[in-house]
Structure 1
Amino acid sequence: MSLWQDVITTALVGTERRTLTLTPATNPLGQLLSQLNPTNPEATLLSAAGAISLYHRAGQRAISDNQPLPQPCLPDDKPPCSPRAAQYLKLMLQKERVKLLPEWLTAAATAGYRVPDYCLPELLEVGRTSPPLRPAILPVLGQRGRWLAAHNPDWNYVGDEDIEQTWTRGSLDARKLLLHHLRREHPTSARERLVAVWQQESSDGRIALVDTLQIGLNLEDEPFLEMALDDRRQEVRRQAAHLLAQLPESALCQRMQQRIQSAITFRRKRNRLHLDFILPDYNEQEITRDGIDSKQPPQLLGNKAWIILQIVAATPLSLWSELQEESPAEWIKAAKRSEWDHSLVEGWAVAAMGQQNTEWAEVILPFSSTFKGYLIPQNKLIAGLINVLSPEQRDSFLLNLFPSSKVPFDSTHPAFTLLTHCHSPWSAELTGIVLDGVRRYLAKTDNPYDWSLSTGLKEFAYFMSPEIVPELSTRFNNIVPERSALASYWTEVIDEVLAVLNLRYEMGREI
């Protein structure tokens, strides 16, 4: 029996029933054990157990790895951001002000900086759990970030700087990000790469990669997308139809146009346009191939209304002025006079977003509260329509919702709902008008607990213009009146808004 087994057996049986027999002092361990006091069996047992355990651990050889050391990282050609800018990044990586991370990443990439080395593991982990942030993360990783990601399978969304290496050996996530990048720089060559591997791709790969054609979408993509309409996966077919619907000159849009022309009827009453639809008997296989679902209408929407909505959403908006010389505003009025108002208005909204039609987007946005989200969720549809407008158009459109600079601003204001979906930078003028309106609201209201407004303001702070920060101390210092019913609730809200604005201002200056 080994010495350790003897200790275990004695401990299990008990020192009163069994005596621990120690080996003669023939080695250093034996010499140590021989010094134990045999008159105290319990102490001897415990001391022996501790000594033997320590002896075995101290005598083990260190584990060795025979794998060759990795190649060292190449020197970085990009400079790291400043220590203060890195502090802001560290703050966000620690889940403080994390909503500012996209703004920090974009600003750093624009300035040509990379992330400091000690922030790389946390930032790469953020990319693993937040795929939408990956395109913004890649430009600031530098050589060290790519080198580090190559040694962790969890970060395989980061491809090699060698395009061919990434395209042939990279993970699906890395190849998708590569196509995103190539579509911005060389849309034709990116599509040709996709066409070359399409037949060999898995179904999940085809679903992921076809979506990249959204970037730089153009009429040259049509032949490939028409072919994808016959794919065996429904998700691929739907995405291909969605993309083709954004190309007014595509054959799919022309087919939709013909369906509208054959179904719509007009009449005028008191010089006002009235319209209706008489749907012909469609070939089920043909309309299904074009992405029209004729069997599963959403709840509270009839089958005919559902088909009309889908066809209108994929029809070129130019058709309507060709059918009748009416402005988009008049068409919406005509839709409101019909039984198909929800199908038409929401279909036009989806078409305006997909076709990037600013004229229709501006006219439809005031009706956004009526959207039901049948094809696209309401919040995404409203945000998409706002993004159709250029920064100047968007600013002008939103400012026009403030006809008077003396009107209080709360959650019932016509601009409030649209601003909650405007996730693009605000102008300094719009920021000032909103904050002035909030101050007027707080000064006059008898019901200060507008929960929607307080929540919205905290979100607005991430998009308001930080250019107004230098004048905050004088212009908005007393935005909360000295009234007990207001001060305890609104001071915290306004302080949060000003804190975010100040942080964004300082962060922007530092980067």
Structure 2
Amino acid sequence: MTSTSPKTAPQPTAPPHTTPAWEDLVTAALLGTERRMPPVPLRSVRSPAAALLDAAAVSTVRRRAALRPALAGERPAPAPADPRPPLPAAARHRLSLLLADRGGTGDGSRRGAAPDLTELLPQWLTAAQEYGYRAPGALLPALLDAARARTDLRPAALALAGPRALWLARLNDDWAFALRGTTGPAAVPGTEDPEGVRRLWEEGLFAERVTLLTALRRRDPAAGLALLGTTWATERAEDRLMFLDALREGLSAADEPFLEQALSDRSRNVRATAAELLSALPGSALAARMAERAHAHVGLGRTSGPVITVEAPQECDAGMQRDGVAPKPPSGRGQGAWWLSQLLEAAPLDAWRDRFDGRTPAEIIALPVADNWRTELHDAWCRAAVRQRDADWARALLGAPATADRATEVAPPGSSRDLAKLLSVLPEDERALWVAEFIAAHGLSDAFRMLGVCAVPWAEPLGRSVVDALDIARDAGSYPWSFSGVMGLAERCLDPAAADRLDMLTAVTDEPEGASPGSGGYWSEAFQRLVGTLRLRATMHAELTGPADTADGTGNGTGAAAPAAS
């Protein structure tokens, strides 16, 4: 590559900072660097031959990668520190296993006896969040991938990932959902940072603004309302609707003047939402207007005894429409019944005591209703109890679950009432006991949605009632996948301490006459899976209380993970 008889000092054939052509590099190599200066900038510490070899190496890599040469971009700023404690070593290993198996193990029918790890991941994330841990840096890419694939994981996954999730999301478009969401109320500025609140409210993305307003309403409802008022008149109708819905957090009588003004909004949906919020405030002026209208159509009459009389409204006037009554009924619904149901939903439930001579909610519900209005009337009162969070009325409308004829009485044919929502009004312990008695009396067929509103882990009476009902189904010889939804809930919601007591159900039993073929073996697998899942859940919780993993997968316990490609 060099010549032994230099003549004159060679000159560079290419200006600095340009990319030499491969042919020019080859020519310089063939002629020798003393006869042909390599078309690359030289540094005093390197010889022309070394510079030529370096340029050839770089060019070779670029050619193989099929990339155009370009100047190096700026390095990303370091990830923000996350001061939360690292996961214990065993819990960190468990998370890596759950993330590795997030693709699922079952095929939707016969799942075998192994626990379903895909359903354990959300439980693990929730438990870890309660301890205030941070996610290991090395597992952040897999955690964000899991949250991208399953929206139900996102709140807990982003909370565990913390500020480093946002840092990574800015480097990888696949995780952009993290930028649209939030890692919790702590991720937005509070009233102690008014300038930060103002800037985010005026310049932030819509999702960030909704998150900010919701967080402020939780901390200081008055501050949140004042912030909304600063831009309300200039917001788009669809944005006003979402912002108004955020006022459910911390809703109080102090919000009434603002909501009364919103009743005159140019958007029908905004007006309807404002009316709904006002009707949830029994002391509001709108609630009083609705009570006056409802009482004009529902009263106490007497024939051979007291009876509730109902007369449907004959018109939906402008005042009713301003207060949120929709004039056009759904298909198949009579106008009068539709208008009356809306009046009943919005009227304060406490006012019915005076209307019915001081009777309690249970006594009012027990009264006969004239002209087949009973289902319509009780359904509307159910929706009012949910909206006003009135436990006394919810309790009266639910009745006694174990009574023989209550299965049809609590939700008669043609009823639109939602028993699960009605149950959500009751205190947790009472709710679990009611559902347990309902299952004991009527089985599992109508209880799935009721189980979904019960606190986790299930209280002991509820857990025992569910297991007993599953055992009865096994003895009847039906297939376990007929109860797959309830079995899945049991795996997630039963107290792990019940595992030892359930061991006896894992044995294969003799199939009764007329049973589905092979049902005994299938039930054995189902109960083995249930017991195995409960024990694994107990192990997971124990691992979260172990010694911290000081390495944390980042080298120093506080560093950030490098950005990943997917």
In structure 1, distance between residues paired with 2:390 and 2:300: 25
SS of residue paired to 2:308: strand
Q: Which position in structure 2 is the counterpart of 1:178?
A: 212
Matched ranges for 1:97-176 at <5 A: 97-124=117-144, 134-151=154-171, 154=176, 155-158=178-181, 161-162=188-189, 164=196, 166-176=200-210
State the SS of the aligned residue for 2:332.
coil
Q: Which amino acid aligns with 1:270?
A: S
Please point out which of 288, 303, 306 is paired with 1:269.
Answer: 303
Report the equivalent of 1:316: 348
Q: Within 1, Cα distance between the matches of 2:263 and 2:306?
A: 40
Q: Deviations over 1:334-385 (max 9, x none)?
A: 46554222321221111111111112222323655348686xxx6xx43322
Mean CA deviation greater in 124-133 or 174-183: 124-133
8 Å contact kept, 1:329–1:363: yes
Residue type of the alignment partner of 2:420: A
Paired AA for residue 253 in structure 1: A
Q: What residue identity is the alignment partner of 2:160?
A: V
Question: 2:78 is matched with which residue: 57, 69, 72?
Answer: 72
- Partners in 1 of 2:152 and 2:322 — Cα distance? 30
| 1:482 lines up with 2:482 in the alignment | no
Q: Aligned in 2, Cα 1:392/1:477: closer, same or farther, shift over 3 Å?
A: same
8 Å CA contact 2:232, 2:240 repeated in 1: yes
In the alignment, is the contact (CA less than 8 A) between 2:263 and 2:275 conserved in 1? yes
Q: Residue type of the partner of 2:494?
A: M
Sort the Cα spacing of 1:430 and 1:356 in 2 relative to 1 into closer, same or farther, 3 A.
Answer: same
Which residue in the other structure is 2:385 paired with?
Answer: 352
Supply the distance in 2 between the matched residues of 1:269 and 1:280 (Cα, whole angstroms): 25
Identity across matched positions, percent: 30
Contact 2:386 2:421 in 1 (8 A): yes
Per-residue CA shift, 1:121-177, capped at 9, x if unaligned?
444456567666554444323232232234456232246654525434332112222
1:392 aligns with 2:415: no
- 1:468 corresponds to: 498
Q: Does 1:436 align with 2:479?
A: no
CA gap 1:307/1:131 in 2 versus in 1, 3 angstroms: farther
Question: Is structure 2 residue 333 aligned with structure 1 residue 301?
Answer: yes
- 1:343: which partner in 2? 376
In 1, Cα distance between equivalents of 2:29 and 2:510: 80
Determine helix, strand or coil for the equivalent of 2:492. coil
Query: Deviation per CA, 1:165-207, whole angstroms, max 9, x where unpaired?
Result: 5434332112222333332222222222222222232233222
Q: Contact between 1:410 and 1:441, CA under 8 Å: does it hold in 2?
A: no
Q: Which residue of 2 aligns with 1:220?
A: 254
Could you tell which deviates more after superposition, 225-234 or 417-426? Answer: 417-426
Shift of the 128–246 alpha-carbon distance from structure 1 to 2, 3 Å rule, reads farther
TM normalised by structure 2 equals: 0.70
Name the amino acid aligned to 2:391. T
Alpha-carbon offset, residue 102 of structure 1: 4.3
RCO (CA 8 Å, sep 6+): is it higher in 1 or 2? 2
Contact 1:246 1:354 in 2 (8 A): yes
**Counterpart for residue 10 of structure 1:** none
1:470 deviation in Å?
A: 4.2
CA–CA separation in structure 2 for the residues paired with 1:220 and 1:70: 46
1:239 equivalent among 263, 273, 286: 273
Structure 2 residue aligned with 1:509? 542
Q: Could you tell me which amino acid in structure 2 is paired with residue 389 of structure 1?
A: L
What is residue 251 of structure 1 aligned with on the other side? 285
Q: Give the one of 469, 472, 494 matched to 2:527.
A: 494
2:68 & 2:286 partners in 1: Cα distance?
68
* Distance 1:293-1:74 versus aligned 2 partners, 3 A rule: same
Is the contact made by 1:156 and 1:170 (CA closer than 8 Å) also made in structure 2?
Answer: no
- 1:109, 1:139 within 8 Å by CA — same for their partners in 2? yes
Residues 454, 493 of structure 1: 8 Å contact kept: no
Which amino acid in the other structure matches residue 179 of structure 2?
Answer: N
Residue 455 (structure 1) shift: 3.2
Bigger mean CA deviation after superposition, 105-114 or 63-72: 63-72
Give the counterpart letter for 1:213 in structure 2: L
Alpha-carbon separation, structure 2, partners of 1:264 and 1:230:
28
Q: TM-score, normalised by structure 1?
A: 0.77
Structure 2 gaps of 5+ residues are 1-22, 32-58, 105-116, 191-195, 400-408, 512-516, 545-566
The question of whether the paired residues in 2 share the 8 Å contact of 1:352 and 1:385 is answered with yes
1:332 counterpart letter in structure 2: I
CA distance, structure 2, for counterparts of residue 61 and residue 299 of structure 1: 61
Distance 2:478 2:271 in 1: 51
Q: Provide, for residues 223-276 of structure 1, a one-character-per-residue CA deviation record: whole Å limited to 9, x for no partner.
A: 222222222222222222222221111122111101112222321233242321
CA distance in 2, matches of 1:78, 1:356: 37
User: What is the Cα-based RMSD across aligned positions, in Å?
Assistant: 3.5
Q: CA deviation at 1:117?
A: 2.1
CA contact (8 A) 1:207 1:236 kept: yes
| Corresponding letter in the other structure for 1:487 | G
Q: 1:509 to 1:27 in 2, by over 3 A?
A: same
* Secondary structure, counterpart of 1:75 in structure 2: coil
Higher relative helix content: 1
| Residue in 1 that maps onto 2:483 | 453
Please state if 1:364 is matched with 2:397: yes
CA distance in 2, matches of 1:382, 1:65: 64
Q: Structure 1 residues 162, 55: closer, same or farther in 2, change over 3 A?
A: closer
The total of aligned residue pairs comes to 451
1:211 — aligned with what?
245
